[in-house]
Amino acid sequence: FGQYPEQTIVQRPMVAAHRGVPSLAPENTMAGYRLAYELGADQIETDVQRTKDGHLVVIHDETVDRTTNGTGAVKDLTLAEIRALDAGIKFDEKFAGEKVPTFKEYLQEFKGKNVMLLVELKAHDVEEQTIQEIKEEGMMDQVVLQSFYLDSMQRSNELAPELPGGYLFSSAVPSTLQEKLKNAKKLVDYGTINDVTLNSSYGSLYKEFIQYMRQRGMLSMHWTFRAEPPFADKLKDGLIGPITDYTQWLTESPVQL
């Protein structure tokens, strides 16, 4: 950071590439994940679901309709059916031929590389298989598991207490704000959760909760970051970093505090 005077504190946030880099490449595809890595993301986020025949794939929606040229629910399609779909062409013809990746493919691509994988358990009951596949790849030190669901977080924690976890807040998941906060505190009290991811839409609570976590030595992330930097105030509050669709904005320039 040679261009700044010595007394200036410069901090680059920890950047999580949300579903890859969906502002530049089709979401949740290998092309998008690779781009995130090339751009210098610290974490690459994805969403895990299970096919009809029991394979883990990475895709956000419950159906393949929005992101591929097919239709139907992920849980009602076999892996072969899903792999036959094109997950790139709707975004741009130049991405034609991109497939819905398997979870293994995503893990293997980044195994041993200098990046963390932020893995969201999108469906209930995928905790065990997800953790098993991470273990099979020997990547327990390279993954953070996150979920909107308290039961998924608790189950994951029972199965693999060494894995960091992120508890997601969203107005889309039906519970009151008080209940969400209570759940998050429960996870904190549970002992080993060391990474909590927050939705920033809760105004003052955001700052209060970041600080609550920080006092306990835990991290707060913010999703989904789709506005231009700077966000120095949030970093001052203790935010560690954004989960963003625009990795390219954040890894290229440091934030001046």
Residues with Cβ < 8 Å from 250, sequence gap 6 or more? 12, 13, 15, 225, 229, 241, 242, 244
Q: Smallest gap, in angstroms, from Cβ of residue 199 to ligand G3P? A: 8
- Binding partner of residue 152 among ligand G3P, Ca ion, none, CB cut-off 5 to 8 Å per kind: none
Would residue 18 show up in a list of annotated catalytic residues for this protein?
yes
Q: How far apart are CA 32 and CA 35, in angstroms?
A: 5
Helix (H) or strand (E) holding 146: strand 143-147
Residue 2 or 174: the one with the smaller Cβ distance to ligand G3P is 174
Active site residue: 55, 60, 124, 222, which one? 60
Q: Smallest gap, in angstroms, from Cβ of residue 47 to ligand G3P? A: 5
Would residue 55 show up in a list of annotated catalytic residues for this protein?
no
The footprint of ligand G3P (CB under 6 A) covers: 18, 45, 47, 60, 120, 168, 197, 223-224, 243
The whole-angstrom distance between residue 54's C-alpha and the CA centroid of its chain comes to 22
Q: Which residue has the tokens 């953790």?
A: 131
Q: Smallest gap, in angstroms, from Cβ of residue 173 to ligand G3P? A: 10
Burial grade of 11 (CB within 10 A; 0-12, 13-18, 19 or more): middle
- Binding partner of residue 98 among ligand G3P, Ca ion, none, CB cut-off 5 to 8 Å per kind: none
Instruction: Please give the residue ranges that form the binding site for Ca ion (CB under 5 A).
Output: 47, 120
Please identify every residue annotated as catalytic: 18, 60
